[in-house]
Amino acid sequence: MAPGPLSREAGKTRAALYHAGMPRPVHAIISIPALRRNLSRARELAPHSKTWAVIKANAYGHGLDNALEAFADADGLALIEFDRAQQLRRAGWRKPLLMLEGAFDFDDTALAAREGLSLVVHEPRQIEWLARLPSDRQLPVCLKFNSGMNRLGFDARAMQAAWARLATLPAVGAITLVSHFANSDLAGGADEAIERFDAATAELPGERSLANSAAVLAVPASHRDWIRPGIMLYGATPFGERSAADCGLRPAMRLHSRLIAIQQLAPGDAVGYGSRFVAERPTRIGVVACGYADGYPRHAPNGTPVAVAGVRTGTVGRVAMDMLMVDLGPVPEAGIGAEVELWGDRIPLDEVAQASGTIGYELMCALAPRVPVRVERED
């Protein structure tokens, strides 16, 4: 796949800088084989369903080009951003593209008709925009039921009326019935939502789509006609208590850097802004070229896991814009230039997220444009 049409300026700069030698030691590695493997995993879990691979937010930080290459076999791609959907069409994606929040205005609706996008309909205004379209082409729509999240969608009664109105519109083609779970990551957390959805849609024809990653992994009854996995494709867990490895997923994004300085602290010496870490004993500290402006969480506390030269240790002191510090106690042989894995194979992204009071989703999406990306195509 030619990288051109999907690379924004940042993406182009990234690639150019990488080939000219990296601007700083920090870099991300995106694994196409891992993305592919995780998509296969989702499809194995739901063998009778078609798959919308969810690629919103720049494919959860992994890059649309990479997603397009890795998810070429998916039945469809799902996203939020209309400019990106247009770019995907220009890059040659002919299969379905589902706009997960639907149109934000009439222009989006017209664009969807031109580009053949499938629109979620969660709100009466969106139906009226569809009513204004010329009838020369039929647009597939996904009518959204509010199953308890109370964010987007119609309640049971409004659902019937919305369906009936959509069915009269000449520009509307197939109507798929969809909903999104608030609690599918908790045991039994999707049961009530499924019951509500089934009750509200019992009399309506059409395909169904309910399952996000957590439901793909844990709620077979939700798989229906189309699954919508996101986070699992990128190799992180949707669960609080079950790791990505336990779910049979492979990390698709690794964040690596190197040590750029070493400090020997005496007892009582502090390190970094605010002197948040104070050595109790003689302590060797490594300074890593990676900070919050690269996407590393500033809220990471002392002891957040990190690997230096393949050995697991922890961060010390406050994460700064461009640097963070690590305890070299467990790895006394490490010197300047030693390899650092911030997350990836040895250090699951989810562990860094949990230590920092967030979730893997946020860390992936926060990977900064200034971080060069290397794409790995072989295992």
Ligand X SMILES: *Cc1c(COP(=O)(O)O)cnc(C)c1O
Which stretches of the chain bind ligand X, using CB under 6 A? Answer: 54, 56, 100, 180, 212-213, 228-231, 238
In the annotation, is 95 catalytic?
no
Residue closer to ligand X, measured from CB, 8 or 56: 56
Q: Which amino acid is at 170?
A: P
Choose between 66 and 304: whose C-beta lies nearer to ligand X: 66
Smallest gap from residue 54 Cβ to ligand X (A)? 4
Of 233 and 328, the one with the shorter C-beta distance to ligand X is 233
Distance CA 107, CA 187 (A): 41
Question: Is 234 among the residues known to form the active site?
Answer: no
Closer Cβ to ligand X, 240 or 337, answer by number: 240
Which residue among the candidates 18, 95, 234, 273 is catalytic per the annotation? Answer: 273
**What token pair was written down for 224?**
């229906």
Q: Closest separation between CB of residue 193 and ligand X, Å?
A: 13
- Of 12, 18, 50, 56, which one is the catalytic site residue? 56
Rounded to whole angstroms, the maximal C-alpha distance in the chain is 77
For 354: left if phi > 0, alpha if psi spans -120 to 50, otherwise beta; the answer is alpha
Residue with smaller CB distance to ligand X, 227 or 290 = 227
The angle that helices 191-201 and 156-168 make with each other, rounded to 10 degrees, is: 50
Catalytic residue positions, numbered: 56, 273
